[in-house]
C-alpha cells in the first residue's frame, strides 16, 4: 500500500485525497496547528439534472508535523503564494525521495519548488475539476465539499514521474493523461486569470460588460505570449472576448451549481494568488520586452 501525504485539507486536497484513497493508498493530511482533530468530510460529486453522488474522505492520519517516514507521494494542495513559505524546506527534510505533486499553475511555482526538491521528483497536475466548500445554496444535502468534473475532461500530469501519478489517479477512477510539454498548466492560468480579475473588479457580475471582456482578452493575449516565451511554446490564439461573454451567459444554466457564487467564493479566497500571477506576467513580460499594457490595465483595476 502506497503512503500519500497531502498538504492542505481544502476542497481540492480533499477530493484528490478521496481519489487516491479509492486507488488503495494510505492517505494522511498535513494541516495547520489546531486542525489535527479533523476527521474527514462528506464529498458530493455534482451531476447536471441529477442528485449529487455522496462520498466520504476519511484520512488515515491528520498531523501538523510530518513524521520522518517513507512517503511515496507528497501532494502540495495549497495555493501558489503558500509554496513560497519556508515550511517547504522543513518538509523536504522528511520526505526524502517521494514524488512531489503540485497543483500550482503560477509561472514561478516550478522554479520555487526546484530550489527545494530535485527537479526529477516534481510533478505538476493541472486540475480540471471545480471544487468548493458546500453548500453555496441548496445544491447538496449537507455541509461538505462539492465538486464537478466537466464531461470528457482529463487531468493533465507533467513531469518525469508523471506515469506514477497518472496510474494512481486512474486507479481511483479519474481520467488522467500525461502531458509531455511543460507550461500547459501555466497556459491554462494565463487564459483564465485575467477574466477572473476583471470579474472581481466588476463585483462578480455575470455577464461581464463587453468593455471589461475586451480588456481581459487583451490581457490574456499578453499573458499567453509571456508564458509561451518562457517555455518555448508557439503562442496559441486566444478565445475571442465575445465567445467568453456568451459562455458566461450560458454556463449558469448548464452547471449544477451557482457559477457566480462559486467564482466569488473561491477566487476571493485566493485573491492574493490572482494578483501574484498578474504581477509575475507583467514583470516577466517587461523583462522580455513584450507588451504588458493590457495586463497592467487589468491589474490596476483590482482593489488592494
Shared-domain flag, residues 173 and 195: no
* Averaged pLDDT, 87-115: 95
Which of 125, 148, 178 terminates a domain? The answer is 178
Shared-domain flag, residues 46 and 132: yes
Shared-domain flag, residues 138 and 216: no
Which of 123, 153, 178 terminates a domain? The answer is 178
Q: Is 241 helix (H, G, I), strand (E, B) or coil?
A: helix
- Tell whether the model's pLDDT for residue 237 goes beyond 80: no
d(CA 288, CA 239): 24
- pLDDT tens-digit map of 196-234: 999 999 999 988 889 999 999 999 999 999 999 999 988
- Nearest alpha-carbon partner for 125 in 190, 91, 173, 77: 77
pLDDT value at residue 80: 96
Residue 37 is part of a domain; what is its CATH number? 3.40.50.720
CA angle 257, 261, 265 (to 5 degrees): 115
Which of 151, 178, 205 terminates a domain? The answer is 178
Shared-domain flag, residues 205 and 295: yes
The structural domain count of the chain equals: 2
- Tell whether the model's pLDDT for residue 238 goes beyond 90: no
- Tell whether the model's pLDDT for residue 164 goes beyond 90: yes
- Nearest alpha-carbon partner for 29 in 43, 16, 44: 16
Shared-domain flag, residues 248 and 148: no
Q: Are 120 and 109 in contact (CB under 8 A)?
A: no
- Tell whether the model's pLDDT for residue 79 goes beyond 90: yes
Instruction: Enumerate long-range contacts of 269-277, CB under 8 Å, 24 or more apart.
Output: 270/79, 271/200, 272/79, 272/81, 273/79, 273/80, 273/81, 273/106, 274/193, 274/196, 274/197, 274/200, 274/302, 275/299, 275/302, 276/80, 276/81, 276/106, 277/80, 277/106, 277/107, 277/189, 277/193
Shared-domain flag, residues 174 and 190: no
Strands 50-57 and 41-47: antiparallel
Shared-domain flag, residues 193 and 297: yes
Shared-domain flag, residues 113 and 194: no
- Tell whether the model's pLDDT for residue 184 goes beyond 80: yes
What is the span of the domain harbouring residue 60?
3-178
Shared-domain flag, residues 151 and 258: no
d(CA 239, CA 82): 30
Cell numbers for 140, please give them.
447538496
Shared-domain flag, residues 51 and 160: yes
- Tell whether the model's pLDDT for residue 195 goes beyond 90: yes
- pLDDT tens-digit map of 24-40: 999 999 999 999 999 99
pLDDT value at residue 155: 97
What pTM was estimated for this model as a whole? 0.95
CA angle 252, 254, 258 (to 5 degrees): 40
Average pLDDT over all residues of the chain? 95
Residues in the chain, total: 304
Strands 99-102 and 50-57: unpaired
Shared-domain flag, residues 171 and 235: no
Shared-domain flag, residues 157 and 29: yes
Amino acid at each position: 500500500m502506497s503512503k500519500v501525504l497531502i498538504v492542505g485539507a481544502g476542497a481540492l486536497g480533499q477530493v484528490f485525497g478521496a481519489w487516491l484513497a479509492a486507488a488503495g493508498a494510505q492517505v494522511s493530511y498535513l494541516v495547520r496547528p489546531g486542525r489535527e482533530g479533523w476527521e474527514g468530510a462528506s464529498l458530493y460529486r455534482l451531476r447536471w439534472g441529477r442528485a449529487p453522488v455522496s462520498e466520504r474522505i476519511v484520512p488515515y492520519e491528520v498531523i501538523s508535523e510530518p513524521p520522518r517516514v517513507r512517503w511515496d507521494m507528497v501532494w502540495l494542495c495549497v495555493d501558489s503564494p503558500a509554496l513560497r513559505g519556508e515550511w517547504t524546506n522543513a518538509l523536504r527534510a522528511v520526505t526524502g525521495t517521494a514524488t512531489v505533486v503540485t497543483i500550482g499553475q503560477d509561472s514561478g511555482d516550478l522554479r520555487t519548488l526546484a530550489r527545494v526538491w530535485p527537479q526529477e521528483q516534481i510533478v505538476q497536475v493541472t486540475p480540471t475539476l471545480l471544487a468548493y466548500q458546500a453548500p453555496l445554496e441548496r445544491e447538496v444535502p449537507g455541509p461538505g465539499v462539492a465538486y464537478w468534473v466537466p464531461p470528457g475532461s482529463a487531468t493533465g500530469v507533467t513531469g518525469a514521474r508523471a506515469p506514477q501519478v497518472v496510474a494512481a489517479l486512474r486507479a481511483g477512477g479519474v481520467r488522467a493523461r500525461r502531458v509531455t510539454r511543460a507550461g500547459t498548466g501555466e497556459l491554462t492560468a494565463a487564459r483564465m486569470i485575467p477574466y477572473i480579475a476583471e470579474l472581481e473588479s466588476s463585483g462578480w457580475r455575470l455577464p461581464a460588460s463587453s468593455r471589461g471582456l475586451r480588456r481581459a482578452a487583451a490581457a490574456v493575449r499578453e499573458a499567453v505570449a509571456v508564458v509561451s516565451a518562457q517555455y518555448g511554446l508557439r503562442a496559441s490564439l486566444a478565445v475571442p472576448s465575445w465567445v467568453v461573454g456568451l459562455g458566461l451567459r450560458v454556463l449558469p444554466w448548464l452547471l449544477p451549481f451557482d457559477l457566480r457564487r462559486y467564482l466569488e467564493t473561491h477566487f476571493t479566497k485566493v485573491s492574493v494568488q490572482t494578483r501574484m500571477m498578474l504581477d509575475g506576467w507583467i514583470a516577466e513580460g517587461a523583462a522580455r520586452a513584450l507588451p504588458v499594457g493590457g495586463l497592467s490595465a487589468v491589474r490596476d483595476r483590482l482593489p488592494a
